[in-house]
Chain A
């Protein structure tokens, strides 16, 4: 019941960023729909829609206008688009409460780089939720003898890697079940894990966690190593060779690593050139594979083979 109330309150919080007319319509959704809602999607000229386990369901009322999307961005940034320009250029805005608004439309270029949007044609408001305690069981398996062993969280896109990573960072940082908390540094390039807003994490990432966001992961890892003397470095989605190189450097500094990667499992991971070097170097000892059973997420911990 408490979980349901939390899920509904997160949806209601996300609705606050919708343009006024859409928000009023969305408020008429039933409690069950609000508890399960994952995103609100707005496309110019189309009816707004709510995305959930049922797929996309159109909301009744007027089609979305260009002005609605401008209002959405204005509400999301608190009429301060300039202060979120770096994020807008990346196509999203992280807002208070830890919600994330994705943007799409006509991009304007300046000096060969994305300068912003000349027109926004669609947007989605994601109803992000914490899964407190979800990481407790897999984390216990990652800490034999009480010491955390470097690990990768694996799942296909949309599988819940970021949510699990967030809870794992929180538990590592705070400590749990007799295990002492450790200084954890979080390289949160896209601001999805801690969702810093005005310097304040919008999600609980633990009391010993230092967050560096909006910075390319490879650079962020090196900055965190130099500046914050972490015991664990966590990062979301290893996607580029530079990320892998930074991870190898971090490993040589003696810190433990926690990261996520798009893969169905260890075999799929080993088949990807980007990860082969990391696996061969034995950087990550274990993997947490996220699966689904009867609509519920499952977490299984497996050993990762490597030369090290």
Chain B
């Protein structure tokens, strides 16, 4: 019986470690998806002058997940334009997409984009999108470094914790 319990403790520790590692990987992937989608956004808005509603719909269908979810929510929110400002719609979409796994500073940067997006002319749009994309790329590099360091560490720590608990149990 103790042997089974110990095996379970070991498996749980390992699973905990793997889940933490997977979260780091998903976080980096999400930031990569957002950064890539901002390149498309910049092109649509600044080169093709695609109206915002169409741009969001396009990004919702063409972006990799989970970035697509952000644009889908913003696209749905456009029905409320007039009652809410675009900035509010965009902020709600950022806050309403937990799948992005954004941290405080990352979410704040993305929310900030809503204050400029759709306003002013192409030059300002390009500047605002490039600025946020630059920051998201920095966040991505940080997340990738964290992932590279963390995946092995977290898996090993989880396994070690499970092993330690199993030894104690035995």
A: residues with CB less than 8 A from B are 16, 19-20, 23, 70-71, 74-75, 77-83, 85, 88, 115-116, 198
Contact = CB atoms under 8 A, between A and B. Distances in A.
13 contacts: A20-B82, A74-B85, A74-B86, A78-B51, A78-B53, A80-B118, A81-B119, A81-B120, A81-B121, A82-B45, A82-B46, A82-B122, A82-B125
B131 to A, nearest CB: 16
Interface residue SS majority, chain A: helix
B96 to A, nearest CB: 18
Closest 8 CB pairs of A and B: A79-B118, A79-B86, A80-B51, A83-B49, A79-B52, A80-B52, A85-B121, A75-B82
A79 B82 contact: no
B81 interface: yes
A118 B89 CA distance: 24
Determine which residue in A23, A77, A81, A83 has the highest number of CB atoms from chain B within 10 A of its CB, and name it.
A83
Interface string B121-165: 110110000000000000000000000000000000000000000
Nearest to B86: A79
A205 B107 CA distance: 48
A71 B120 contact: no
Contacts of B121: 81-82, 85, 88, 115-116
Nearest to A118: B120
A82 B83 contact: no
Contact of A81 (B50, B53, B118): B118
Contacts of A77: 51, 118
Chain B interface: which size bin?
Answer: 20 to 34
Given A16-B82, A20-B82, A79-B81, A74 B51 contact: no
Contacts of A71: 82, 85
Given A85-B122, A116-B120, 7 more contacts: A78-B51, A78-B78, A79-B53, A79-B117, A79-B118, A81-B118, A82-B124
Contact of A78 (B46, B81, B85): B81
Given A75-B81, A115-B121, A83 B50 contact: yes
B155 to A, nearest CB: 45
